[in-house]
Structure 1
């Protein structure tokens, strides 16, 4: 009788070669990646160092152990073997922890009562209806055309699409423009460990079409001039924990290449082996391997955009991983007229955070289908890339903004920001509002003005009076133009409490001596 093969992650204690790599960063990252780190003041750290080669060698040469993937960010290997063989790896002093995909085999587990929900994973469940139309409505719903009209079409931005396959991207006429302009920079098939990424499930090709597709006068993606890396991490025929590890490998590769935005229209809740299934309690942004990897991707300076999931009508109902990660921009699906799609997954996360974050067209979305034709399809798989392209265009317009600032602006511009819901999150973002806000020339403060400080601010805004005026009227607006606070500030008490405001960007209108000044402030 043969022992059952298990999947597990083996975590290491350290990286003995850390100093060597820190002193030679180009051994780890491209110059473009290093330039991004410098632009956003992100230091190299322990997570950037490759997994120690000697540790990998010893694990590889352990009888009964097969290495399937590795992650430098999480300092771990994904292995397969019997429970005994994997557990025995703890005998190595450089092994810090072993985590089985079957959580019942782990020595310490969460002290929670899991609500077991059995459902059929339907991440690829999309429907093709009609062979006609234009992408105008899915771009204009987000007011992304404002960015295009101002020549921000993604040029110079790099997007990594992590998915299940990209067959016919090298042949379909809808991708001829990006092929001719050399906008496909490369890719990799992590499932088969080879460079053939024009293969696999057509899901990835269809996802890519909403960002990069182009058919003159008929179809335009949301970032038609961006550059792309195409990574296959999803084995459409199987659902295994290995796919999470492969996704993290692809995200690490994207980081090393200097990619700006990652789109992933994938999510994980259940597996072929039901002992590996996640529960809703696991959707806390900190439990799954993929969500922890996605969070690190954000910390490297990238924006990760992820579909919320198509479980709104199922017993599961909730978002999937990595849509539960705190810093991932998770996207629900709406119709072009703004109504939420019934299939779009619900939040919040198990720990109560708002998810999905925002929504875009994913019901009756125009795509290029597996036959190379324009068609209508449904799924958060498409709302995510539709938004991804517009995000890339916005960041192209304002490259000095950090990923956190861009994400926060997107949330605050959405129509439900003040009253988010479990299925729509903050709602549909308005990129015209963001563009106009960031494009405004804020008047420079000079000494004869009343100056608020600090900026960014935590809880108390102070005012420096360098004018004859004894008081100032202060009106604070959110990005939707709504008044959130009004006060009269005097020289005797030049402090305004703003602790009640949510984190984000606000406009401060100061009125005194028949003068009015508008100043942008950031509330941390």
Structure 2
């Protein structure tokens, strides 16, 4: 596990061809677990009014979506019966993916493969996943700097603006998929949720019962970062939202069912009327290659995009591999319709080192936005310091709930774009911050359009200089350059910003295809010349974008 306290799980689906490798080396009678993916749902009937919660029907109608599509229909009962008869056992199924999870021996798989209604058979991954519980050392009473983080983790997103407008997520239903919600049923931080009957439904997909209030505090902390309230402090923004709590992961080890549970929980959340799904799931290098982080390869990415197609806003942690060899995001954060959230350091106010980088394998920008990756949450024993994009994600989920409460006419994907556009860096972006931290003021009132240019470009024969205009220079000394790609390329070294309230210049170089070749953050001090870009490093058609003090400037080569 590459990160300190967040659950960002690293696993994925085997490629179908791996079956032949397994069957060649496993004993003849060895039992394995597989997805049996079916071709169709012929002859299946479906009544959405009987199946869906009224909130799910309302979500579809409000967004002018069909009440159901083929993916909502149940699996063909005759197909299921034949698969059961040819397998050792069946553990579950996915309507959305039209697939059944079963245990079977290689000879049985060969029989299943010959059925005319079977599209493909995909082995489950089998290695255990180790999940990290929040260490005891993170349990604290608040000191001055911790109180500052607590206040700023919501203030940095515009909490005061939402509060002024009376927006707290009321009427929005949020599903949280996690490893457990220990103490939520008897912890002071969630007393208001019980009092106002905002906890709508729970389900443990591991134990298959309704009790989710044990096993892990990770989900407890995540919930607190959306809706917690303790000692007069709002920990998250959406204290008025409704919640569905799903336990999908085992705390210490898992052999087969984690991915299956997550898929089932997505369908359960849809069925029970979720408007927003927050997840800290991420499959990375244990089962994937970087080129497979394209938002289409993994079942979990496909399922996340299907949820979006049904009008749900899916918010997912971008990952915590920024300092690991893997470095980039995991799936399903790579999915096109998933709002992937990166981490910000509360002290420097730019990318926190452990937060995973984008882009996706097909060069789409990720993360989409960012929020504090080092936070103060609440657990069974009170306030707790913790870190990880697992907690940046629920901060943004709470932001989304307040925003959607303020404008229910928006579709989920319109809201997705509005959240991006509200980012404090927008229209500037990079693969560390996305569009930056969403701002309630920008979302509700629009970004200022009368900004004066804060920098200028001074082109020469061999280089282009980025120069800050005199009237926007801060009263500090000497530039500090931070390479937010994390690689220290081209002689740029990783240096910590000296001033937490620093004035930063963000700039990137986009190639003719629109992908970023390089991007940086510069702390402006006493030298107005903050960067020099050699023309020989630019391809014809490249663009330099620079963001400083709310203004974005462009230079086309």
Cα 1:231–1:319 shift into 2, 3 Å: same
Task: Give the conservation status (yes or no) of the 8 Å contact 2:131–2:252.
Answer: no
Spell out the pairing of 1:62-77 with structure 2 (5 A cutoff): 62-64=86-88, 66-77=89-100
**Counterparts of 2:130 and 2:365, CA distance in 1:** 23
TM-fit CA distance, 1:219: 4.1
Number of the residue aligned with 2:72: 48
Aligned counterpart for 2:262 among listed residues 212, 223, 247 = 247
1:232 aligns with 2:241: no
Task: Give the conservation status (yes or no) of the 8 Å contact 2:275–2:313.
Answer: yes
**Counterparts of 2:399 and 2:288, CA distance in 1:** 32
Aligned counterpart for 1:344 among listed residues 340, 352, 355 = 355
Q: Describe the SS at the equivalent of 1:154.
A: coil
Number of the residue aligned with 1:404: 413
TM-fit CA distance, 1:481: 6.0
1:328 aligns with 2:338: yes
What TM-score comes out, normalization by structure 1 length?
0.75
**Counterparts of 1:124 and 1:317, CA distance in 2:** 22
Cα 1:416–1:183 shift into 2, 3 Å: same
1:13 aligns with 2:39: yes
Number of the residue aligned with 2:304: 294
**Counterparts of 2:420 and 2:113, CA distance in 1:** 44
Task: Give the conservation status (yes or no) of the 8 Å contact 1:412–1:479.
Answer: no
Task: Give the conservation status (yes or no) of the 8 Å contact 2:424–2:436.
Answer: yes
Number of the residue aligned with 2:81: 57
Please list the CA deviations of residues 121-166 of structure 1 after superposition, one character each: whole Å capped at 9, or x if unmatched. Answer: 7776777274214432111101133112211101111000010001
Q: Describe the SS at the equivalent of 1:170.
A: helix
TM-fit CA distance, 1:184: 0.6
Q: Describe the SS at the equivalent of 1:429.
A: coil
**Counterparts of 2:102 and 2:252, CA distance in 1:** 20
Number of the residue aligned with 1:394: 403
Spell out the pairing of 1:161-310 with structure 2 (5 A cutoff): 161-240=176-255, 242-269=257-284, 277-310=287-320
Cα 1:208–1:102 shift into 2, 3 Å: closer
Number of the residue aligned with 1:97: 120
Spell out the pairing of 1:364-513 with structure 2 (5 A cutoff): 365-369=375-379, 371-437=380-446
TM-fit CA distance, 1:245: 2.1
Task: Give the conservation status (yes or no) of the 8 Å contact 2:313–2:338.
Answer: yes
Unaligned runs of 5+ in 1: 104-117, 272-276, 438-477, 485-499, 503-524
Please list the CA deviations of residues 379-407 of structure 1 after superposition, one character each: whole Å capped at 9, or x if unmatched. Answer: 10100001111110110110001111111
**Counterparts of 2:451 and 2:96, CA distance in 1:** 42
Task: Give the conservation status (yes or no) of the 8 Å contact 2:350–2:433.
Answer: no
**Counterparts of 1:240 and 1:349, CA distance in 2:** 28
TM-fit CA distance, 1:85: 2.1
Please list the CA deviations of residues 230-269 of structure 1 after superposition, one character each: whole Å capped at 9, or x if unmatched. Answer: 0011122224553222111111111111111011122122
What TM-score comes out, normalization by structure 2 length?
0.71
